[in-house]
């Protein structure tokens, strides 16, 4: 819990600062009105204008404090909203690259503390540009949202799905044994490549190249992403050749 000194030190915007000054002024008036006069004693309590002024000041101060609390709550809600927007992809609602990097950093810190393992998948859509060129950007946006939906539907609640570029996605799967990383990644890859997006009666199959790597306590974020990226592009190059599709 914050102390009074912390509260006083907290930055306030212009309107909040003015309100704070008004509240503290009213409380000072209230305290001054309650100070006993020299002539006052237990047999002759203070009544009259001083008491009325104190009660009025107290009521006004309470109203002002309630308003200050509401303003603070609105500011805190706005801060949370802005923080969420800074790590969220607006089109798909997934995490963006910044959000993904943040969660990957946390996962690696947990791995170092508890010898945990997991996997990272890098996903690049194949032949996405022709969709935009042929059917328009609305179709492309819908296609990306469909990809996001497929990925979200087949991961655990603790996993992280992100759109890290125009047609690039990433999945962070935490707390996985190394032996199960490959099977989970292959299952998600198959689900994604088996999906078909219906755009106004035209069926557009999703095709994606995927690279996945497992990670442990000794890995760094840059190494993981570089390895996954390389594997993803190897698969993309293989899929572009007739031999790659046969294999």
* Active-site amino acid positions: 167
CA distance 76 to 73: 5
Q: What is the bridge-based pairing of β-strands 196-199 and 208-215?
A: unpaired
Evaluate the CA torsion angle 127, 131, 134, 136 in order and state its sign. negative
Q: Which tokens is 174 given?
A: 């935490």
CA distance 146 to 163: 12
């Amino acid at each position: 819990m914050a102390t009074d000194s912390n509260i006083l030190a907290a930055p306030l915007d212009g309107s909040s600062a003015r309100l704070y000054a008004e509240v503290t002024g009213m409380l000072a008036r209230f305290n001054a009105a309650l100070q006993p006069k020299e002539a006052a004693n237990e047999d002759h309590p203070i009544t009259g204008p001083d008491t009325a002024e104190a009660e009025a000041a107290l009521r006004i101060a309470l109203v002002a404090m309630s308003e200050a609390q509401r303003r603070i709550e609105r500011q805190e809600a706005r801060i949370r909203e802005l923080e969420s927007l800074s790590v969220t992809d607006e089109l798909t609602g997934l995490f963006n690259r910044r959000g993904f990097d943040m969660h990957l950093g946390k996962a690696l810190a947990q791995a170092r503390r508890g010898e945990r393992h997991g996997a990272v998948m890098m996903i690049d859509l194949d032949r996405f540009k022709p969709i935009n060129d042929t059917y328009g950007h609305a179709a492309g946006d819908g296609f990306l949202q469909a990809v996001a939906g497929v990925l979200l539907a087949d991961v655990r609640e603790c996993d992280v799905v992100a759109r890290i570029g125009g047609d690039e996605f990433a999945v962070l799967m935490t707390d996985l044994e190394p032996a199960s990383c490959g099977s989970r990644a292959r299952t998600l890859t198959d689900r994604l490549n088996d999906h078909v997006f219906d755009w106004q009666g035209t069926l557009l199959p999703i095709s994606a190249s995927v690279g996945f790597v497992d990670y442990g306590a000794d890995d760094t974020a840059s190494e993981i992403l570089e390895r996954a990226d390389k594997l993803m592009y190897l698969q993309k190059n293989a899929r572009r050749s007739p031999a790659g599709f046969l294999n």
